[in-house]
Amino acid sequence: MREVFQQELTEVRERLVTIAELVAVSIENATIAFNTSDVNLAEQVIAEDDRIDELALSLDELAINILARQQPVARDLRIVVSALRISASLERMGDMSSHIAQLARYRFPEKVVPKGLRGTFAEMGRLDVSMAKKLVELLRTEDLQIAEVIRNEDDNVDDLHLKVFDKVLGETWKGGAVDTVDATLASRYHERFADHAVSIAKKVQSLATGDWVVASA
């Protein structure tokens, strides 16, 4: 019974890695679509979000089945409950990729990234992609140093998020309302994507350290 359970925990972790990989692809494509106004790639990101949703749902069902059949306690129970939460965060990260792609699609054939913010959004996108790829490695290896790097990258995303508002609300801003709306929403989606990555990194950290209270924060 115990061996079966360990196999099932391995299955849970592998499925989380698979979903995280799809999320990494989705944010990479979403940020390319966004920064280059590639409407076909945007459509692809939006379509493929269904797959992330399905896999997250299926993982939730597996986790609940494990709870019912294996009745885990202590750390094992925390792992399964954390898997449910990590799955929810990954699903939302896929939604953020899809939202970023939708912005590119709405404005096509116009460019969605407002002038004066190209560099900022390119850098925000680069950080989101980097965090998503590191998340795959973190889930695969549970190397907690990666969790620290993810948290540091999120600080940089937050700085860029504030920079977008400084720009949009500054004296030199020449954008119209469309540019302002696009910049505001895009920045928010990039920032939320990074927040979810940090939330997952914290859960992996607290599973490793046994510091449960921080885990749920």
Q: Which residues here bind a second copy, judged by CB under 8 A? A: 53, 57, 60-61, 64, 67-68, 71, 73-74, 77-78, 81, 84-85, 88, 165, 168-169, 173, 175, 177-178, 180-181, 184-185, 188, 212-213, 216-217
Is 145 or 170 the residue whose CB approaches a second copy more closely? 170
Q: Which is nearer to a second copy, 85 or 126 (CB)?
A: 85
In the complex, what is the shortest distance from the CB of residue 161 to a second copy, in angstroms, rounded to a whole number?
A: 12
User: What is the closest distance, in whole angstroms, from the C-beta atom of residue 163 to a second copy in the complex?
Assistant: 14
Distance of alpha carbon 84 from alpha carbon 74, whole angstroms: 16
Q: How far apart are the first and last CA of the chain?
A: 33
Return the residue matching tokens 């459509």: 43
**In whole angstroms, how close is the CB of 80 to a second copy at the nearest point?**
9
Burial 67-106 (b: 16+ CB within 10 A, else e): eeebebeeebebbbbbbeebbebbbbbbbbbbbbbbbbbe
Indicate the residue among 1 and 177 with the shorter CB distance to a second copy. Answer: 177
